[in-house]
Chain A
Amino acid sequence: MALINNFILVRFLGLCPFFGVSKKLSNALSMGVAVTLVMFIATVATWIINRYILMPFEVEYMDIVIYILVIASLVQIVEMAIKRTNLTLYNALGIYLPLITTNCAVLGITLINATEAYSLLESIACSLGGGIGFTLVLIMMSGIREKLELADSPRSMKGLPVALLTAMLLGLTFLGFGGMI
């Protein structure tokens, strides 16, 4: 999940933070950790809700509305919890924490778990793998982009286009992992 089915490079999930936050290495790390944390908690919460509320009442078609509400409120709670317990971490995460609500990777993982009908353990493994893969790629990308800022690229390629091409090269390398298993 972390390498072969990488969320960003292979499934196109979480592209907004990938291009938005990957300009500085320190921000990328905070964002990656925050997303992984929320993905893990959201996976556990939505799995329980799916199994014990949606399925018994046969209202699985409501999953999108329920999941997004659960994720939004979870993000709020996590934000408050971090603010009370660890102010340094809270300041480091800053604006990125509330933005996770609209991160496709988080809603994506809950929907994948639901459609693949994973067990709780499988879902957790899937979410952690996805989160670690997300963090890994975010860190790699930001490291490369910090160097790219100094490179002498053509004017029309500067910024986003060259970042997209970098993502292509990273994606090609990650495709190589598919052959390893």
Chain B
Amino acid sequence: MDNALGMSVGVTFVLLGSNIIISAIRKIIPNIVRIPIFIVIIATFVTVVNLVFHAYVPALYESLGIYLPLIVVNCIILGRAEAFASKNPLLHSIADALGISIGFMLALLIIAFLRETLGTGSLSLFGVDLFTLPILGEHPIAVFILPPGAFLLMGLLLALFRRLGVIKGD
């Protein structure tokens, strides 16, 4: 859960920052080199997040590992820069960044919650143990902590949300 929260904060900051800058300078970016410019702006913000995390929350920085710098190539951020921020005014872009970030955070938190609860039988947040499930605590389903567990949960959640009609289309 801690990792998911940290990651969401990082992504929110980068998305917000890059959307603001790109939206503000969208009229002076030459169309033909727009993608490299977007990437450099995003990479700058990721470097900032990287340094801030390294300085203030070193434990989180360690556990996020290479996934923190990899925010640069997160498709959401470049996708929103290209599809929204480069065409829309500043305030709309900020709202867009916040909306997308909240969605991203929700998805990440749901998966993190389920993986940690099922995979270890207990849940802790910022080093505080919140609860331990009676049977799962002694015999956790360890596969949920392993990488395949993530694929399993994502597949099942996607199917469930589609069934409920929350997510439409393919």
A contacts, CB < 8 Å to B: 9-13, 16, 61-65, 68-69, 72, 101-104, 107-108, 111-112, 115, 154, 156-157, 159-165, 167-169, 171-172, 175
Do B78 and A64 have beta carbons less than 8 Å apart? no
Do A61 and B47 have beta carbons less than 8 Å apart? yes
Do A64 and B151 have beta carbons less than 8 Å apart? no
Do B44 and A160 have beta carbons less than 8 Å apart? no
Q: Cβ of B39 < 8 Å from any Cβ of A?
A: yes
Report how far A154 CA is from B13 CA in the complex, Å.
39
Do A12 and B150 have beta carbons less than 8 Å apart? yes
In the assembled complex, the CB of A138 is this many whole angstroms from the nearest CB of chain B, namely 15
Report how far A169 CA is from B147 CA in the complex, Å.
11
Chain B interface size band reads 35 or more
Do A167 and B151 have beta carbons less than 8 Å apart? yes
Report how far A13 CA is from B134 CA in the complex, Å.
35
Residue of A62, A164, A167 with most partner-chain B CB within 10 A = A164
Do A162 and B40 have beta carbons less than 8 Å apart? no
Residue of B nearest to A158 (CB): B170
Give the interface SS of chain B, mostly helix, strand, loop or mixed.
helix
Do A107 and B73 have beta carbons less than 8 Å apart? yes
Do A171 and B36 have beta carbons less than 8 Å apart? no
B-side contacts of A64, CB under 8 Å? 43, 46-47, 50, 69, 72
B contacts, CB < 8 Å to A: 35-36, 39-40, 43-44, 46-47, 50-51, 65-66, 69-70, 72-73, 75, 78, 143, 146-152, 154-156, 158-160, 162-163, 170
Question: Could you list 12 A-B pairs, sorted by A, with CB under 8 Å?
Answer: A61-B51, A64-B47, A69-B40, A102-B78, A104-B70, A107-B69, A111-B69, A115-B65, A156-B160, A156-B163, A167-B151, A171-B148
Report how far A156 CA is from B160 CA in the complex, Å.
7
Report how far A165 CA is from B158 CA in the complex, Å.
11
Do B151 and A171 have beta carbons less than 8 Å apart? yes
Residue of A nearest to B65 (CB): A115
Report how far A80 CA is from B149 CA in the complex, Å.
41
Residue of B nearest to A11 (CB): B147
Report how far A64 CA is from B50 CA in the complex, Å.
9
Do A161 and B70 have beta carbons less than 8 Å apart? no
- Known A-B contacts: A69-B39, A168-B155. Give 14 more (CB < 8 A): A64-B43, A64-B50, A64-B72, A65-B44, A69-B36, A69-B43, A107-B70, A115-B66, A161-B156, A161-B158, A161-B162, A165-B151, A168-B152, A171-B148
